[in-house]
């Protein structure tokens, strides 16, 4: 039943052109990819700061870096969890001076004072930093008008409801945009000054590139930070900026929801945390730029630009959303 649709897609001149451009860009990316970063900076000499390392991908990534002998500094808001992760990293590491190579410091990425304190700590302990991984963030799982107590916009919103929506939106913006922004402003000068191969990794989301129902606050705040970092990459070409945009990852995504929403999509095919963390390390090592995981989202992005009605319908099906 889908054959006529796909025939239409690839016979359409715009689709054919887009396919050609995508193929050519993939070939050029392979042919002209930058020199592998590990050839300029030994993993055992690398100094990595992971912002948001107390759970999920950040926690797993910290262990992966420690296992290969990299210096790792983990920060997060919860001191007890930080100590747990640090103990795991020390256990995973094989360096003789592993304890001094694994640093932990409680900090809030939305606090300028906390971030500057971390920067000064890194300067004192390591003389600088080589890699910044930004993986802290929050989720938002409800349709926007549901937050304002007007499902599907069927009733007028009150002053209180509008204010509440603004407060919820500010929480999403603070976690997904303001925090990454302050992190960049705090550490970019230090990166440029102290590293021979400076790099930044932003752990973003497919939602930053492809819209979805019940994810309006999440999509928009993630898109904002992704565009911020892509713009910073142009302003600071000496730094290798990388951005990973994964689909749904297993774990406690619901726990970080600033709007109290529930997970709508099936989690059977959710990405494994270990899989995403391993991909993060590899793309930073080889300066891969923007990567969508799994690969199927790359053509989905092109389809969302060329035939948005199709991807919009599929997104509604995925999240079990129906407009009334």
| DSSP secondary structure string for all residues of 42-65 | -TTT-EEEEES-SSHHHHHHHHHH
Residues 6+ apart with CB under 8 A from 138: 171, 172, 175, 176, 256, 257, 258
- The residue ranges of every structural domain in the chain are 36-142+173-318
More confident: 267 or 25: 267
Q: 187, 132 in Cβ contact below 8 A?
A: yes
Could you give the dihedral angle defined by the CA atoms of residues 260, 169, 135 and 99, in that order, rounded to the nearest 10 degrees? -80
117-121, 232-236, 306-310: least confident range: 306-310
Q: Is pLDDT of 229 > 90?
A: yes
pLDDT mean over 197-221: 95
Q: Domain 36-142+173-318: give its CATH architecture.
A: 3-Layer(aba) Sandwich (3.40)
Q: 251, 56 in Cβ contact below 8 A?
A: yes
Closest CA to 301 of 206, 203, 230, 217: 206
For the chain, how long is the longest CA-to-CA vector? 65
pLDDT of amino acid 1: 44
pLDDT of amino acid 266: 58
pLDDT mean over 285-301: 93
* Mean model confidence pLDDT for the chain: 87
Q: 139, 218 in Cβ contact below 8 A?
A: yes
Using DSSP, state whether 243 is helix, strand or coil. strand
Residues 6+ apart with CB under 8 A from 161: 148, 149, 150
Q: Percent of the chain beyond pLDDT 70?
A: 83
Global pTM reads 0.86
List Cα–Cα distances, 206 to 223, 282, 302, in angstroms.
9, 19, 13
Closest CA to 37 of 7, 59, 80, 70: 70
Q: Is pLDDT of 72 > 90?
A: yes
Q: What distance in Å separates the CA atoms of residue 287 and residue 200, rounded to the nearest whole number?
A: 10
Q: Is pLDDT of 43 > 80?
A: yes
Q: Is pLDDT of 253 > 70?
A: no
């Amino acid at each position: 039943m889908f054959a006529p649709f796909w025939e239409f897609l690839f016979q359409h001149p715009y689709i054919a052109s887009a396919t050609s451009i995508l193929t050519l860009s993939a070939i050029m990316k392979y042919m002209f990819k930058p020199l592998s970063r590990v050839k300029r900076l030994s993993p055992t000499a690398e100094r990595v700061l992971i912002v948001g390392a107390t759970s999920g991908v950040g926690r797993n990534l910290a262990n992966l870096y420690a296992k290969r002998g990299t210096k790792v500094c983990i920060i997060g808001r919860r001191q007890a969890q930080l100590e747990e992760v640090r103990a795991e990293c020390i256990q995973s590491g094989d360096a003789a001076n592993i304890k001094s190579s694994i640093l932990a410091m409680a900090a809030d990425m939305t606090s300028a004072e906390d971030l500057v304190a971390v920067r000064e700590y890194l300067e004192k302990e390591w003389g600088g930093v080589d890699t910044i991984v930004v993986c802290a963030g929050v989720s938002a799982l409800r349709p926007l008008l549901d937050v304002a107590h007007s499902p599907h916009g069927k009733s007028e919103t009150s002053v209180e409801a509008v204010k509440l929506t603004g407060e919820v939106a500010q929480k999403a913006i603070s976690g997904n945009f303001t925090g990454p922004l302050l992190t960049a402003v705090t550490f970019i000068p230090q990166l440029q000054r102290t590293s021979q191969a400076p790099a930044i990794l932003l752990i973003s989301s497919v939602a930053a590139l492809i819209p979805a129902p019940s994810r309006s606050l999440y999509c928009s705040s993630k898109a904002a930070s992704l565009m911020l970092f892509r713009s910073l990459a142009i302003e600071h070409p000496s730094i290798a900026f990388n951005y990973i945009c994964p689909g749904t990852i297993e774990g406690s995504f619901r726990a970080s929801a600033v709007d109290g929403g529930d997970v709508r999509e099936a989690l059977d095919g959710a990405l494994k945390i270990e899989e995403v963390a391993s991909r993060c390390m590899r793309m930073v090592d080889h300066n891969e730029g923007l990567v969508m995981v799994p690969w199927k989202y790359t053509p989905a992005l092109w389809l969302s630009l060329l035939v948005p009605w199709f991807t919009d319908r599929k997104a509604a099906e995925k999240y079990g959303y129906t407009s009334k």
